[in-house]
Amino acid sequence: MLRNAALSILLLSVLLLIGCGRTREAQQGVQAARQLQQTGQTTIKTGEGEVQIKTDKAGEQATITIEGESGEKHSVTVGEDLDTSALSLAIYPGATQQGGQITETAAGKHLNFVFTTTDSFEKVADFYKGKYPDAKVSDVKMSDGHLLNIGIGKPPNMTSVAVQQSKDEADITIILIEQK
């Protein structure tokens, strides 16, 4: 799924380059798209550095790494079942991971994970309030749902937990965000 999305984005970029009269770059893009489709990875070299795109075999996880001229690297990994071992926040017991994003730069690592559970909003909220009793808590009830936001830590290591329930959804969504 992500491999197809990465391929679609790459091909759209190629079409834009062709439209701008940049045929050499467009040809490189077509070659990169073919390689991504065949092997699950590709590298595009530019005058400013290089871009690497890798997907897992099932196409459920993709990593895009950009390396600049001076060697600095930035990467973003997205997927449905990412490794949560770097996360220091508590994962609600029995929650199911729905997706996530891990961004790594010279400034640090940003983790963003989404989970769902069928437990009640109150049970999930009580779990996180109990785990982080000194955190700043914002509890907002709206006509179309309920949102609990728990702010933990201080800049630059911002960490938060969001528990939300939409009026139309039975499941509770838990978003864990951590800056390291």
**Do 62 and 89 have their domain in common?**
no
The residues facing 154 across adjacent strands are: none
What does the pLDDT profile of the chain (180 residues) look like in tens digits? 444 444 444 444 443 443 444 455 545 555 665 666 566 666 666 666 666 666 665 556 777 777 766 777 777 777 777 888 888 999 999 999 998 888 888 778 888 999 999 999 999 999 999 999 999 999 999 888 999 999 997 777 778 999 999 988 889 999 999 988
Tens-place pLDDT, residues 2-26:
444 444 444 444 434 434 444 555 4
14 to 32, 45, 68, 78: CA distances (angstroms)? 10, 14, 21, 22
Q: What is the CATH classification number for the domain harbouring 84? A: 3.30.310
Query: What pLDDT, on a 0 to 100 scale, did the predictor assign at position 107?
Result: 79
**Full domain range(s) for residue 165:** 80-180
**Do 124 and 63 have their domain in common?**
no
CA 26/CA 52 separation, integer angstroms:
17
**Do 62 and 137 have their domain in common?**
no
Q: Out of 15, 32, 67, pick the residue that ends a domain.
A: 67
**Do 22 and 105 have their domain in common?**
no
Query: What pLDDT, on a 0 to 100 scale, did the predictor assign at position 19?
Result: 44
User: CA angle 14-19-20, nearest 5°?
Assistant: 95
Query: What pLDDT, on a 0 to 100 scale, did the predictor assign at position 79?
Result: 75
Q: How far, in whole angstroms, is CA 95 from its chain's centroid?
A: 18
**Do 59 and 85 have their domain in common?**
no
Can you give the pTM of this predicted structure? 0.70
**Do 119 and 164 have their domain in common?**
yes
Query: What pLDDT, on a 0 to 100 scale, did the predictor assign at position 109?
Result: 86
**Do 54 and 115 have their domain in common?**
no
Query: What pLDDT, on a 0 to 100 scale, did the predictor assign at position 73?
Result: 76
- 72: tokens are 């600095």
Give a yes or no: residue 110 inside a domain. yes
CA 43/CA 51 separation, integer angstroms:
6
Tens-place pLDDT, residues 152-162:
977 777 789 99
Give a yes or no: residue 114 inside a domain. yes
Work out how many domains the chain is built from and give that number: 2
